Amino acid sequence: MKYINTILLLAIAIGVGVLFYKDHQRDVQLKEQAAAQAARDSAAAAKKDEPSPFDNISEDPMKSSNSIVTGPVTTISFERTLHDFGRVPSGPVYKTSFKFTNTGKEDLIVSNAKASCGCTVPTYSAEPIKPGQSGTIDIEFDSKGRAGEQLKQIAVTTNTEPSENVLTVKSNPYITK
């Protein structure tokens, strides 16, 4: 029995020693990480005055105003920029049009209309729209295989400032049996 108590005390001492050693290792690792973070922070502070190539990135690429417009610039006014088809059966192709007017003094040119998803197809005329005249961006949304709330955006590029306007199509298709 005398030896058993000694062995148990020795095992406990070893266990406590291992725990202390692991705590020590963790403390050393945390100190090293803190020192490395401090070094990164001071390096970042030293570079603070240097502009980042990411400083001018728009949060939403669909609303980028960094596009370069060449030639005459005009203005555009949409009757609406959102169309909600509502709760509709999944399967059919739904269509809508967004009417716009050239409210500027130069010809308006729609150079591109790109949807955020392949299920949404915009079409437009490349013919210049004279000042005071109107045109349309026609949208087809294919709901086949889609269920639940859908939100699709169309970036329309024109010779305006900003050069991109965003149109939005919403729907809530449901599967029919």
pLDDT averaged per 10 residues, the chain (length 177): 72 70 69 66 55 44 49 93 96 97 96 94 95 97 94 96 94 89
Task: Kindly state the tokens that stand for 177.
Answer: 């049996």
Domain count, the chain: 1
Q: In what order do the strands lie in the sheet with 110-115?
A: 82-89, 164-174, 150-158, 110-115
pTM for the whole thing? 0.61
User: In terms of residue numbers, what domain contains 166?
Assistant: 80-174
In which element (H, E) is residue 42 found?
A: helix 2-46
Residue 136 lies in a domain: yes
d(CA 44, CA 128): 50
Residue 18 lies in a domain: no
Residue 166 lies in a domain: yes
Which of 39, 176, 40, 158 lies closest to 108, judged by CA?
158
DSSP state of 62: G
Residue 43 lies in a domain: no
Residue 21 lies in a domain: no
Residue 61 lies in a domain: no
d(CA 44, CA 177): 59
pLDDT of 61: 42
Residue 115 lies in a domain: yes
CB contact set of 16 (below 8 Å; sequence gap of 6+): none
pLDDT of 40: 64
pLDDT of 5: 72
Residue 101 lies in a domain: yes
CATH label of the domain that carries residue 134: 2.60.40.10
